């Protein structure tokens, strides 16, 4: 049946080796490790560490990082085998095309748009928020929020009148300003709404600007993009190391006792809220701080020596980030007690710990904000790069229009795919609230992990004779564990995310049967 038609591995390898017509091979092992670190270390390290500690694991969040890293390693080992064996730009999409056929490949290619394109849009919105915080809120609300967002604030005498009428609003007063949610504003008596200053968003300009700058950089060249990414990675890793080294002397051993949250602790009822169950619950929270290493595989066609360097890039970035995460978690929960992160700090938990307990190094709190901005920038860069390379490969297969696969005559980058991607991602970032994407990025990632793990097992059975520069150990145990862990994570996502993901996948099927199936080069015989 045409739905299960597979792309020939020999054709795929010939396509990958055609350096005259294809992408330039300019990336070494160091560049690939930096790409992985660039995609992995975003704000997740600074935000999810405290969240996992406060909600489930306590100081044992360090063990949660180890558990999450093991889960990622199952998928990472499978990616490493495929990336060394099939050094093509399409990542999970290309691997699925060879092992499970065109329909599955299309589905995973469509799902990866949720990981890379929507991921880049969501992170650019967060980048805009942190930039405004760093600038002390100087960017006017209407120029850094979507038209679907509004802010409700009151100050001066208006606060007293509002709190007198609705006493619960007193909890929302911070630094002399009353900030209301949409629900609180709509619940106010009609005669009090005039006391509130309402600001409506127009366009998220900073998010659009950072996307434009990074798109231009990607069009300019992969090597140039890799150099900029390397600089950003050095900056943010240096700040992470500074916090670890300087914060070590402020560790209070009492904050690490008991190491795991004891049973019966108020607010920690439930299997995954204390003890070893809490460690697993914490692992589910910090798991998504590891997402991004798979983006290294999208650069396989631009690696100088993919057979050697791709496994090093994928697994090396995972190892480096895991070590940093464990040390970071140990210091953070030692400097401040995990219980404080429930009420204080929230997303600025690291800055809170520094400002409260590391008084000599308050400047480090600002540096952390810079690190978060740098982290966001490199994540956006790698996500845009990954998506454009998947578009490039899908276009070469005829599944999407030829424009996505056209290379720049001078820079040999898929510049039209980059521009189309900028328009799509830019519209989302400029005019849609970041909360809309939810966990769709996680769904796309985990779905890819499941299929890549399955693909390694399938190809081992069907084509055992193929040369494999890197071999996933303990097959089929490792692929099965990868599928089980990642499927479990998908099932754990909220119903709204799964519903939206299902609708997105149905749209993808309509596109496939309406256009891609007929246009496919396997169908036309090209």
Is the domain of 401 the same as that of 512?
Answer: yes
Residue 18 three-state SS: coil
Calpha distance 143→155 (Å, rounded): 22
Beta-carbon contacts of residue 365 (< 8 Å; ≥ 6 apart): 350, 351, 354, 355
Contact status, residue 55 vs residue 335, Cβ threshold 8 Å = no
What's the pLDDT tens digit per position in 429-442?
Answer: 888 876 666 567 77
On whether both 227 and 168 belong to a single domain, the answer is no
Which pLDDT score, from 0 to 100, does residue 223 have? 77
With a cut of 90, say whether residue 412 has pLDDT above it.
no
| pLDDT at site 423 | 95
Helix (H) or strand (E) holding 470: none
Residue 180 DSSP SS3? strand
**Domain check: are 216 and 289 in the same one?**
yes
Total domains present in the chain: 2
- Residues forming a β-bridge with 197: 153
For range 193-213, the mean pLDDT: 90
Alpha helix stretches (DSSP H) within 336-362: 349-357
pLDDT of residue 158: 86
pTM for the model: 0.80
Better pLDDT: 88 or 513: 513
Q: Are residues 114 and 160 in the same domain?
A: no
Q: Whole-angstrom Cα distance, residue 472 to residue 91? A: 16
Is 495 in the same domain as 449? yes
The last residue of a domain, from among 159, 183, 200: 200
Same domain, 232 and 282: yes
Q: What is the model's pLDDT at position 382?
A: 84
Alpha-carbon distances, residue 79 vs 7, 255, 311, 439 (angstroms): 18, 39, 8, 22
* Residues 192 and 214 occupy one common structural domain: no
Per-residue pLDDT, 15: 65
Residue 153's SS3 state is strand
Q: Judge whether 289 and 283 are in contact, CB under 8 Å.
A: no
Q: Residues 185, 283: one domain? A: no
Tell me, yes or no, whether 196 and 82 share the same domain: no
Confidence of residue 210 (pLDDT cuts 50, 70, 90): very high
pLDDT of residue 35: 83
Please check whether residues 293 and 373 belong to one and the same domain. yes
Residue 426 confidence class, pLDDT cut points 50, 70, 90: very high
User: What's the CA gap between 51 and 120, in Å, rounded?
Assistant: 23
Instruction: Name the helix (H) or strand (E) containing 174.
Output: strand 173-174
190 and 219 housed in the same domain? no
Q: Is residue 124 part of a domain?
A: yes
Q: What is the mean pLDDT of residues 143-172?
A: 83
Domain boundary among 163, 182, 200: 200
Which residues are paired to 152 by β-bridges?
180, 198
- Residue 493 lies inside a defined structural domain of this protein: yes
More confident residue, 11 or 129: 129
**Does residue 144 sit within a domain?**
no
**What pLDDT sits at residue 59?**
93
- CATH number of the domain at 446, please: 1.20.1740.10
Render pLDDT for 356-389 as a digit per residue (tens, 0 to 9). 899 888 888 888 888 888 888 888 888 898 899 8
- What pLDDT, on the 0 to 100 scale, is given for residue 21? 57
The residue assigned the tokens 């599928």 is 483
The tens digit of pLDDT for each residue in 436-476 reads 665 677 788 888 888 889 989 988 988 888 888 889 999 99
- Residues 196 and 252 occupy one common structural domain: no
pLDDT in tens, 98-134: 888 899 889 888 988 887 888 888 888 888 888 887 8
pLDDT at 43: 64
Q: Residue 143 falls within a domain, yes or no?
A: no
Q: Identify the pLDDT of residue 176.
A: 79
What pLDDT is stored for residue 347 in this prediction? 55
pLDDT tens-digit map of 70-97: 888 888 899 888 888 877 777 788 888 8
Would residue 267 count as lying in a domain? no
Query: At residue 20, does pLDDT exceed 60?
Result: no
**Token pair recorded at residue 501:** 């993901």
**Taking Cα atoms as reference points, which of 308, 277, 313, 470 lies closest to residue 478?**
470
Q: Contact, 102 vs 6, CB < 8 A?
A: yes
Which pLDDT does position 60 carry in this prediction?
93
* Domain of residue 178, residue span: 150-200
Nearest-angstrom CA–CA distance, 244 and 361: 12
């Amino acid at each position: 049946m045409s739905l299960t038609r597979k792309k020939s591995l020999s054709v795929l390898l010939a396509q990958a080796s055609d350096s005259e017509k294809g992408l330039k091979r300019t990336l070494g092992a160091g560049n690939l490790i930096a790409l992985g670190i660039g995609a992995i270390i975003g704000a997740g390290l600074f935000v999810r560490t405290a969240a996992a500690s406060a909600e489930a694991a306590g100081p044992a969040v360090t063990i949660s990082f180890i558990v999450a890293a093991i889960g990622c390693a199952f998928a990472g080992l499978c990616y490493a085998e495929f990336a060394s064996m099939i050094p093509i730009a399409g990542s999970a999409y290309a691997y699925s095309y060879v092992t499970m056929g065109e329909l599955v490949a299309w589905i995973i290619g469509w799902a990866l748009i949720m990981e890379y394109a929507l991921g880049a849009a969501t992170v650019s919105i967060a980048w805009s928020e942190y930039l405004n915080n760093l600038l002390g809120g100087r960017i006017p609300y209407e120029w850094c929020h979507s038209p679907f967002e509004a802010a409700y604030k009151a100050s001066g005498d208006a606060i007293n009148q509002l709190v007198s009428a609705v006493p619960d609003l007193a909890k929302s007063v911070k630094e002399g300003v009353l900030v209301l949610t949409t629900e609180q504003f709509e619940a106010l008596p009609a005669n009090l709404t005039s006391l509130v200053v309402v600001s409506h968003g127009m366009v998220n300009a900073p998010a659009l600007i950072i996307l434009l700058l990074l798109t231009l950089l990607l069009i300019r060249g992969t090597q140039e993009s890799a150099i900029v990414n390397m600089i950003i990675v050095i900056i943010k890793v240096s700040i992470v190391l500074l916090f670890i080294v300087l914060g070590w002397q402020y560790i209070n051993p009492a904050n690490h006792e008991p190491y795991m949250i004891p049973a019966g602790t108020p607010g920690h009822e439930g299997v995954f809220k204390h003890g070893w169950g809490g460690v697993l619950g914490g692992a589910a929270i910090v798991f998504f701080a590891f997402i991004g290493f798979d983006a290294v595989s999208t650069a396989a066609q631009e690696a100088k020596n993919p057979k050697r360097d791709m496994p090093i890039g994928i697994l090396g970035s995972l190892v480096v980030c895991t070590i940093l995460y464990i040390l970071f978690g140990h210091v953070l929960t030692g400097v401040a007690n995990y219980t404080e992160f429930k009420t204080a700090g929230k997303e600025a938990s690291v800055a809170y710990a520094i400002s409260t307990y590391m008084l000599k190094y308050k400047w480090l709190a600002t540096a952390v904000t810079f690190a978060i901005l740098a982290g966001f920038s490199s994540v956006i860069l790698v996500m845009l790069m990954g998506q454009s390379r998947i578009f490039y490969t899908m276009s070469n297969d005829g599944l999407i229009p030829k424009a996505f696969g056209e290379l720049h005559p001078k820079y040999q980058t898929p510049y039209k795919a980059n521009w189309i991607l900028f328009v799509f991602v830019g519209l989302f970032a400029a005019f849609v609230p970041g909360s809309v994407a939810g966990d769709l990025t996680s769904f796309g990632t985990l779905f890819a992990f499941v299929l890549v793990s399955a693909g390694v097992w399938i190809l081992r059975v069907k084509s055992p004779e193929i040369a494999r520069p890197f071999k996933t150990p303990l097959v089929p145990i490792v692929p099965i564990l990868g599928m089980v862990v990642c499927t479990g994570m998908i099932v754990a996502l909220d119903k709204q995310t799964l519903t939206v993901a299902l609708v997105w996948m149905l749209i993808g099927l309509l596109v496939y049967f309406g256009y891609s199936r007929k246009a496919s080069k396997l169908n036309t015989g090209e």
